[in-house]
Structure formats: structure tokens, C-alpha cells
């Protein structure tokens, strides 16, 4: 057993900078690289891609990142854990193996963790009495069953550890929890057991701190003027030890800001009950954590307490919930706000005149630049220009598209100063509804497979 491992967290979402993982591998020592590509809406997007192409449905950015780092990862012995598999881990596995063979990287072991995707099993689960009602409003899943796009259970760290134990240097997962990308290496390296609740809770806290990448090292931080060199902002490195104590740091010489305050700011991100943060491996008490600066860009967390997990997995489902379209114009002054309000009234009036009126809860209007972000909090003056953003949503795709044709005519048939139209008419796009539910753990069976280049 090693006395310490270093886990870099280089991806906060699908679309985060490719420089995060590249620099983590290049600029300092690292044992593991954790990469988070998934969010609730991402799964539905991936399911749609897979329905059109059986070889799609995973985070292609992951393969592009490996194209720039694979030789270095192989040479340094860095092990990579990513949920880039999305809804098609097998296709992602094949793409990574193909890349390795193309680059001449032989003997690279790549593994996948499957079993989280339960979309095809929804009918049988409902028939067996697993109602998966909506956790927010109690509706039965049958209300949206015919429009489901994705259904994935949040699995935990032990499946990741199993894949590592089988020798995988790159572990590709579907919908594991964000902290599991950090917890998996800890379980594997330190031999933690399912009843080591305090240690598992520590890994949950560590993963929660790192899961948004540079957000704990100065990104999105209130005192942004204190943050040095945003261009080369350092991504977090978790230095973990067998007893569950860990230190958050970053590679020497990198930019950003890592203090107790930046760590605490991230710790509070997306927080429900801090005394009982639920995950598939344990329940973590975030309030028990002792957080202290132990050196420049070094914040140590210790004393985290945990308890047993629930006997259910959280399941993230998505469904088709109508259509939407948004568009925008720039309205220049004088009297920019007044003219923008008139433009909005003109659009709604013309649509109603043509028999395409929208209800108030189907319409959206924003005057960006006139204090819309802090409406009711900060007073706004009459600015020299505003951006008029308008949108609609409803179940009728044709009506949504009809809205999109009434924005650009304002350039010649509205008040003066209307400009900035680009990108073509707004077109109807799907609205993805989110459906959180619970499912008994015995209904989800994970599978691990490892192949070699």
C-alpha cells in the first residue's frame, strides 16, 4: 500500500478546457487523472447521438484529449478515470484502442464500467413494481414513459476500483458519481472496504471539491482580483492518504488561487443537507470536515465522518418535453430600453394577429444590459444599448418555428437602432425534461471489462 497518491481533476464538464488535463499530465507529478464529462442533460444528448449512429454516444473530447497526451500518459504511468463513456462506453473503448494502435502505443490496458444505463429496462422495471416516481413532485414515471430519452443510475467508487484492480490504465465509465472518479483510486490503492464509511466520506468530500476542476483553484471566485494568471490557472490535485486525510493542491508554478476560502466556496457548491450528503457508497457529513491551510496552495481536509448509504441508487432520467426557440437583437440608444420593450410588443402582437399567440408562461423576454441579471436587486440606468432576448416554448413545433420568423423583420419595420441580427432565424429545438428518481440497488448490476491495445 502506498502512503500517498496524487489525483488530478482536469475536467469539470463536457466543454471544459482541453488544457486542464493536458497541463496536469505535463506540468507535474501525477498518479491518477480524473475527468468528468457528464451532466443530466448530457446523457439525453448522447442517447440522441447514439440513436442516429451506433458508434456515437460518448464524449469525443476525451479521445481528442488522449490524442495529445496518450504517449505521455503511457510513459509516466498515469492512470486515467473518466465518465466519458456516456451511454456508449463500448464505442468509447474501441475509439481509445484504435487511437492507441494508430499511435503505436502497445500494451495499453483500457477498461469500461457498464450497467448504469437502464433505459431499455424501464418497461420491465415498471412492470415489476419499481415506479421510479419523480422525487420532486411525486408523479409516476408512466406519465412520461413514452417520451423518455435517457435513464442512468449513479453508481459508485467500487466498480471503478474493480476496473483498476484488473489492470486498466484507462478506465471509461458511464454515469458514475463525480466523487467516484476520485474515490475509485482511493478504494483501489488503500484497500478500503464498503463499511469504511469515514474514509469513503472523505473521498466524497475530495471528489466534491475537485469535481468542477479549476472552480476550487480560483475559477468563479468572488475575490477574482486576487486570482493570478487566469490563463495558466492550475487545476486541483488531491493528495490522498490511507486514513482518509487529504490535501488539495496544484502543480507548482501554475496560476490561480488555492486557499481555504476557495476550497470552502467549492465545498458549498450544489449543497443540499451538509450533514447528510447522500451517495451510493456512503452518507457524508460535510460539517465534520476540518479544513486548514498547511502551506502555500495547500489546504488539508481531515476528520470527515460518514455513515451507511441508502439501499437505493439515484436515477437520472430525461424526457422530451416540448420545443423552444430563442433569438436576440441589439437595440442601440437613445431610449434603448424603451425601444426594446416596443420591439417585444411588436413581435407578440404580430404573432397574435397571425393566429399564433402564446400564453404568458410560454414567452420569455429579457433586456440584457438593463439589469436583468440582478432584477429587483440593483437599479439600472438607461443604457446606450441593450440586447433584446426573446424566446418561446410549447408542445407545437410549428408554432415555435413561426415565432422565429418575426424577429429579423424588426430591422426594417420597427423602431430605429435595431441591429446585431446574426445566425439565421431561431429554430425549434427539443426541451429536455429532468426526472430524478430512486431505484433499489439490487436492480442495477455493473460489469467491468478490460482490453489491451
pLDDT digits (tens, 9 = 90+) for 289-316: 999 999 999 999 999 999 999 999 999 9
Neighbours of 145 (CB within 10 A): 14
pLDDT band at 121 (very low <50, low <70, confident <90, very high): very high
> CATH code at 390?
3.30.70.2750
Question: Would you state the pLDDT for residue 375?
Answer: 79
Same-domain check for residues 92 and 190: yes
Question: Would you state the pLDDT for residue 345?
Answer: 98
Same-domain check for residues 300 and 337: no
Could you tell me if residue 75 is inside a domain?
A: yes
pLDDT above 90: residue 379: no
Percent of the chain with pLDDT over 90: 89
Percent of the chain with pLDDT over 70: 100
Question: Would you state the pLDDT for residue 275?
Answer: 95
Same-domain check for residues 82 and 216: yes
Question: Would you state the pLDDT for residue 138?
Answer: 96
Question: Would you state the pLDDT for residue 104?
Answer: 95
Residue-number span of the structural domain to which 274 is assigned: 5-116+154-310
Concatenating the DSSP letter of every residue in 420-436 gives ---SSS---EEEEEEEE
Same-domain check for residues 176 and 208: yes
b/e map 397-434, b = 16+ CB within 10 Å: eebbbbbbebbbebeeebbebbeebeeeebebeeebbe
Could you tell me if residue 231 is inside a domain?
A: yes
Instruction: Verify cis geometry, omega within 30 degrees of 0, for the bond prior to 377.
Output: no
Same-domain check for residues 207 and 302: yes
pLDDT band at 449 (very low <50, low <70, confident <90, very high): very high
pLDDT above 80: residue 378: no
Helix (H, G, I), strand (E, B) or coil at 66: helix
Mean pLDDT of 208-213: 95
pLDDT (tens digit, 9 = 90+) per residue, 227-264? Answer: 999 999 999 999 999 999 999 999 999 999 999 999 99
Same-domain check for residues 297 and 324: no
CB 87 within 8 A of CB 117: yes
Same-domain check for residues 283 and 325: no
CA distance 326 to 426: 6
pLDDT (tens digit, 9 = 90+) per residue, 152-175? Answer: 999 999 999 999 999 999 999 999
Distances (CA, A) of 292 to 55, 220, 248, 259, 301: 47, 21, 10, 9, 7
Neighbours of 338 (CB within 10 A): 14
Closest CA to 366 of 416, 417, 331, 404: 331
Question: Would you state the pLDDT for residue 62?
Answer: 97
pLDDT (tens digit, 9 = 90+) per residue, 316-340? Answer: 999 999 999 999 999 998 999 999 9
Same-domain check for residues 345 and 385: yes
CA distance 132 to 243: 37
Could you tell me if residue 144 is inside a domain?
A: no
Distance of CA 102 to the CA centre of its chain: 30
Could you tell me if residue 134 is inside a domain?
A: no
Last residue of one domain, picked from the residues 310, 335, 367 = 310
Could you tell me if residue 133 is inside a domain?
A: no
Question: Would you state the pLDDT for residue 380?
Answer: 72
Q: Which residues pair with 323 in a beta bridge?
A: 394, 430
Question: What's the mean per-residue pLDDT of the chain?
Answer: 95
Mean pLDDT of 86-97: 96
DSSP letter for 309, please: P
- How many domains is the chain built from? 2
Could you tell me if residue 365 is inside a domain?
A: yes
Same-domain check for residues 257 and 375: no
Same-domain check for residues 46 and 100: yes
Could you tell me if residue 442 is inside a domain?
A: no
Mean pLDDT of 80-100: 96
Question: Would you state the pLDDT for residue 376?
Answer: 76
Same-domain check for residues 302 and 421: no
Same-domain check for residues 228 and 373: no
pLDDT band at 445 (very low <50, low <70, confident <90, very high): very high
Q: Grid coordinates standing for 181? A: 472518479
Mean pLDDT of 373-382: 77
pLDDT above 80: residue 446: yes
Amino acid at each position: 500500500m502506498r502512503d500517498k497518491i496524487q489525483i488530478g481533476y482536469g475536467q469539470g464538464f463536457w466543454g471544459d478546457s482541453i488544457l486542464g488535463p493536458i497541463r496536469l499530465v505535463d506540468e507535474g507529478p501525477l498518479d491518477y487523472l480524473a475527468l468528468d464529462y457528464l451532466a443530466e442533460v448530457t446523457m439525453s444528448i448522447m442517447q440522441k447521438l447514439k440513436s442516429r449512429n451506433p458508434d456515437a454516444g460518448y464524449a469525443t473530447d476525451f479521445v481528442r484529449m488522449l490524442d495529445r497526451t496518450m504517449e505521455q500518459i503511457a510513459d509516466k504511468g498515469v492512470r486515467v478515470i473518466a465518465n466519458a463513456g456516456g451511454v456508449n462506453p463500448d464505442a468509447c473503448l474501441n475509439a481509445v484502442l484504435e487511437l492507441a494502435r494508430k499511435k503505436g502505443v502497445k500494451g495499453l490496458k483500457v477498461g469500461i464500467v457498464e450497467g448504469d444505463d437502464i433505459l431499455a429496462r424501464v418497461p420491465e422495471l415498471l412492470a415489476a413494481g419499481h415506479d421510479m416516481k419523480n422525487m420532486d413532485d411525486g408523479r409516476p414515471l408512466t406519465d412520461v414513459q413514452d417520451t423518455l430519452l435517457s435513464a442512468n443510475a449513479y453508481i459508485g467508487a467500487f466498480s471503478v476500483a474493480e476496473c483498476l484492480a484488473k489492470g486498466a490504465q484507462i478506465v471509461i465509465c458511464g454515469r458514475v458519481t463525480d466523487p467516484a472518479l476520485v474515490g475509485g483510486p482511493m478504494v483501489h490503492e488503500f484497500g478500503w472496504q464498503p463499511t469504511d464509511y469515514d474514509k469513503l466520506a472523505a473521498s466524497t468530500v475530495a471528489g466534491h471539491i475537485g469535481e468542477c476542476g479549476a472552480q476550487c483553484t480560483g475559477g468563479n471566485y468572488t475575490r477574482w482580483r486576487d486570482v493570478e494568471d487566469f490563463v495558466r490557472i492550475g487545476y486541483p490535485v488531491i493528495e490522498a492518504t490511507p486514513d482518509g486525510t487529504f490535501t488539495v493542491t496544484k502543480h507548482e508554478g501554475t496560476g490561480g488561487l488555492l486557499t481555504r476560502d476557495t476550497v470552502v466556496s467549492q465545498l458549498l457548491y450544489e449543497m443540499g443537507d451538509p450533514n447528510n450528503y447522500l451517495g451510493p457508497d456512503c452518507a457524508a457529513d460535510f460539517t465534520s470536515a476540518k479544513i486548514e491551510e498547511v502551506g502555500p496552495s495547500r489546504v488539508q481536509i481531515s476528520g470527515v465522518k460518514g455513515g451507511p448509504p441508502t439501499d437505493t441508487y439515484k436515477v437520472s432520467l430525461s424526457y422530451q418535453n416540448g420545443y423552444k426557440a430563442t433569438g436576440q437583437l441589439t437595440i442601440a440608444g437613445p431610449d434603448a430600453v424603451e425601444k426594446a420593450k416596443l420591439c417585444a410588443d411588436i413581435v407578440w402582437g404580430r404573432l397574435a394577429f397571425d393566429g399564433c399567440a402564446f400564453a404568458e408562461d410560454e414567452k420569455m423576454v429579457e433586456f440584457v444590459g438593463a439589469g436583468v441579471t440582478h432584477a429587483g436587486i440593483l437599479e439600472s440606468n438607461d443604457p446606450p444599448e441593450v440586447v433584446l432576448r426573446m424566446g418561446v416554448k410549447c408542445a407545437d413545433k410549428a408554432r415555435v418555428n413561426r415565432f422565429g420568423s418575426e424577429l429579423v423583420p424588426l430591422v426594417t419595420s420597427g423602431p430605429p437602432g435595431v441591429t446585431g441580427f446574426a445566425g439565421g432565424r431561431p429554430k425549434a429545438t427539443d426541451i429536455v425534461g429532468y426526472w430524478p428518481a430512486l431505484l433499489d440497488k439490487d436492480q442495477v448490476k455493473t460489469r467491468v471489462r478490460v482490453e489491451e491495445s
